[in-house]
A and B are shown apart, each in its own frame.
Chain A
Amino acid sequence: MRLRALFLMMGFFLRGYRANWLYFLMLYLIPLTYLVVVFVMAQGSLEALATGLTGFVVMVGYQYLLQMSASFVSNMFEPQVFETYYLMPLSFPEILASFIAVTVLLISMPPVALCSLVLAWTVGIVDVPVYLAGIVLMYAFFVPLAVLLAVTVKRAMTLSSILSFSAFMLIIASPVFYRLLYVSEPYRALLLLNPLTHIVVVLRSGSGLQEGFPAVSSIALLTLMSSALWVLLWYKLRGGVFTIIEKRS
């Protein structure tokens, strides 16, 4: 995609927030509020702080990368919305790339970067390459999953309901708010089936918290799952996927 077109499209999406600037501001304020809560609850414990902050990064990934990206992309398939994009001289994959660039660079990156800085400043990131691998794999996992779900389901409301319900299930069933290390064995095995658990394991390992499961194994699993998702997405996007929701308007 031409970079100039990408930047023009990103500017176009952001201009759409001018009238709803408060909503855009809230995208940053809500994570900040959570950071304050983590500090208060930690009561000076570095372990609690590292647990809360790494869990928070995964939450941001789920909400902003998966839920928001999927919502943006699936909304595109509403016939009248789709037609406004048909007027543009960009291909639909290029328009999709612009959506993703906005959610990745402008919406999810700032809170993730802020949280990582706070983590480095307070607890310290003992293994920077592992921590960065965790961040990269989180993006590499959530982005193709979001697009794949959006182009398959297409209906924004349906997808939003599915992802909200899944959030409830996946976040409870992953050690986002607690330590995997202290979980008893049968439940621990169950948690390890959840991809979010592996992101948490890698991030915590980078910040010096070992969860009793090798970070290298989690990195390998996440790499495998992300690669599979990208391959599936590539197959899905090969022609014919960019058709509108079939309903008589």
Chain B
Amino acid sequence: MSRYREVVELQDVVIVDRVTKVYPSGVEANVDVSLRVCSGEIACVLGPNGAGKTTLIRQVMGILRPTRGSVRVFGLDPVVHQDVVKRRIAYVPQLPVYYPDETVVGISEFFARLYGVPLGRVRGVLEALGLWGIRNRRGEGLSPGERKLLLLALALIKGGDLYVLDEPTAFMDVLKKRASWEMLLGERGEGKTMIVVSHDVEEVRRMCDRIYIMFGGRLVASVGSPSELSRGVEVRVYHGRPGDIADFFRRGEVKVSEESLVARYAQLADAVGDLQEFALSPVSREARVFLEYPSTESIVEFLSGGRGR
């Protein structure tokens, strides 16, 4: 039994257990979030702006301390064992941060020297990502997409057992996105574990094994495989005046009851699209959202006019 437990625990690279993060301003960025990422898995956290994805990622990296709950990375508390965790994580931050006075090749070689990586790897990664042609351009002269690509290049040069990628292809054009996905899928082939934060359903479809959907700081759904993004789904929103928010869910078939609204979608991707728009509205703060696959009972309930619950 103990041997079995040991094997199971080793496979859990990241465990987030009922994490709540409240900022000093009182904003609850994460509420009771739990997820697991196993070794060799690519887990995606999908959700609109302000869903609490970056806050969650920063807690996984150990640079923010959870208010409640716990995070374990490689079995360790990442805040306490930050150095150990940091060495094993390759990270791409959300914003295209950059080093203004460093050239693309200069900063890449600087990182390679720090890591003790052969300089040949720098050229390989920069060429694969299409950055070799602009290798002598300084950080301040790069477009946001190029800066993001450079951050990805630095993560790939460093390498790691766990890739934490916060919107890794944001600001990029289609060709750069494809080059990035190919490189990352190559790393996956080597058994690397990844957490990818994204808005991009296409990216999620191509890359991820498991999808966690966040909204308003809460995890509203967990999807076992990207193919399920094409399955029908039901969004249930509890709100004081559900009729007022029906317009946000126009891609779905909406039924409104006294206290909630139920929108049924043929594809999860459409539901995520509507939720992203809803999240931008101030009224979303008063809402509680649940996303679920419709059961036979709920189909019956839905067809009967949305009464109950």
Mark A residues whose CB is within 8 Å of B.
5, 8-9, 12, 15-16, 18-19, 79-80, 82-84, 86-93, 239-240, 242-244, 246-249
Contacts and interface: CB of A to CB of B under 8 A. Distances in A.
Interface residues of B, number: 37
Contacts of A89: 86-87, 111, 114-115, 158
8 nearest CB pairs, A to B: A91-B83, A83-B93, A239-B80, A89-B115, A84-B97, A244-B63, A240-B79, A80-B97
B23 A19 contact: no
B101 A19 contact: yes
Contact of A247 (B23, B65, B111): B23
B220 to A, nearest CB: 20
Contacts of A5: 114
Interface string B75-103: 00001111100110001010101011110
Given A88-B114, A246-B64, A80 B23 contact: no
Given A8-B114, A19-B101, A89-B114, A83 B91 contact: yes
Given A15-B102, A247-B24, 4 more contacts: A86-B86, A91-B83, A239-B79, A244-B64
6 contacts: A80-B95, A83-B63, A84-B99, A90-B114, A239-B80, A246-B64
Interface stretch (B54-62, B122-130, B208-216, B241-249): B54-62
Contacts of B80: 239-240
Contacts of B62: 243
A84 B79 CA distance: 18
A53 to B, nearest CB: 36
B100 A88 contact: no
Given A91-B83, A247-B25, A248-B55, A83 B97 contact: yes
B111 A242 contact: no
B154 interface: yes
A86 B29 contact: no
Nearest to A77: B63
Contact of B111 (A18, A83, A88, A240): A88
Contacts of B54: 249
A20 to B, nearest CB: 9
B27 interface: yes
B250 interface: no
Contact of B154 (A79, A87, A249): A87
B42 interface: no
A244 B115 CA distance: 24
